[in-house]
Amino acid sequence: MLGRLSLSIKYSLIFIITGVLIAAAMLVSLYYFKSEVLRNEAQAVAAQVVSFRSWVAKSGMVWVDNLSTDFHDFLSKREDAAGNFYFGKNPALATRELSEIANKSAIRATFRVTSDEYRQPLNAPDDFESRAITAFKNDDGQRYYEDYETDTYRYAQPVYVKQSCLKCHGDPEDAPKEVIEKYGADKAFGYKVGDVRGIISVKLPDLKLMDLIHNLANPITIGLILAAFLINLAYTQWGLIRRLRNLTNGAEAMSQGNLDADLPFNDPQKSRDEVDHLGGAISLLRNSLKVAMRHMNK
């Protein structure tokens, strides 16, 4: 059926199909690009959390001389010679309070640290976080876990146990008395270096594909696409189809006896254009017909 259509229609169909395939490829690329952008943003947030948690862990504990009404929890309490009290916050507690402060003022990203072996009820993992923890424990090589919920991108990366963590998460007999008094001897102990202690969980608002397309649909991009379309159309209609029609008209005139009909083409010896070679072949055929006609007239 397609074989009976004109070259112009065939080309138009192919052009439309090609345009649809390019649009589909662009949508797929935008989806992967969107995921990469969100993942990079989440990883940047997680890296800051890791740095803060590492700093607190290396210090052992952060001590403050005043407890705010919003953050009155502490692990240990000490008194100096002058009778001043200082309150100690361990890495998990300090990170949790940091997340609460950051999340209240966050424009986009929110985060928290959670574990399947949590000591605080507020740190209990949700469904996504539970799946992420299971995935990391089942696959040592998995470095991140991600998913999409309603208008939200979820990201998680594992928190591994380091040597400094064993003081509070190794053998309960070696743990500080403040830890045992506050959390007991049954929760979050028995870890070894390299174990998955928990995860850093990050939430970001999803990037809509239509928003990305809207940003790409600027005057410059649209102008370039329109220019490419017009150049393609102009070359096909005037640079190819029109030349073929002229050669067809010349060949039809020859078939009607006009062996001197105009055959517009460039010298095939100086051109690699297939249309010029076709015109040269028709010209050779015309010359052969002229020779044959002369012999017949004799």
184 phi-psi bin (left φ>0, alpha ψ -120 to 50, beta other): left
Distance of CA 194 to the CA centre of its chain: 29
Q: So what's the pLDDT on residue 44?
A: 94
pLDDT at 163 over 70: yes
**Residue 149: φ, ψ to 5°:** -115, -175
Q: So what's the pLDDT on residue 298?
A: 66
- Please answer whether residues 42 and 153 qualify as being in contact, where contact means their C-beta atoms are separated by less than 8 angstroms: yes
Query: Average pLDDT over the chain, rounded to whole?
Result: 86
Read off the pTM.
Answer: 0.70
Q: So what's the pLDDT on residue 273?
A: 82
Q: 112 pLDDT band (50/70/90 cuts)?
A: very high
The tens digit of pLDDT for each residue in 186-203 reads: 888 889 999 999 999 999
Q: So what's the pLDDT on residue 1?
A: 53
Q: What angle do CA 193, 75, 202 make, to 5 degrees?
A: 60
Q: What is the mean pLDDT of residues 240-259?
A: 83
Q: What is the mean pLDDT of residues 113-124?
A: 88
Could you give the domains of the chain?
Answer: 12-212 (no CATH), 218-297 (1.10.8.500)
> How large a percentage of the chain has pLDDT more than 70?
97
- Please answer whether residues 217 and 26 qualify as being in contact, where contact means their C-beta atoms are separated by less than 8 angstroms: no
86 phi-psi bin (left φ>0, alpha ψ -120 to 50, beta other): beta
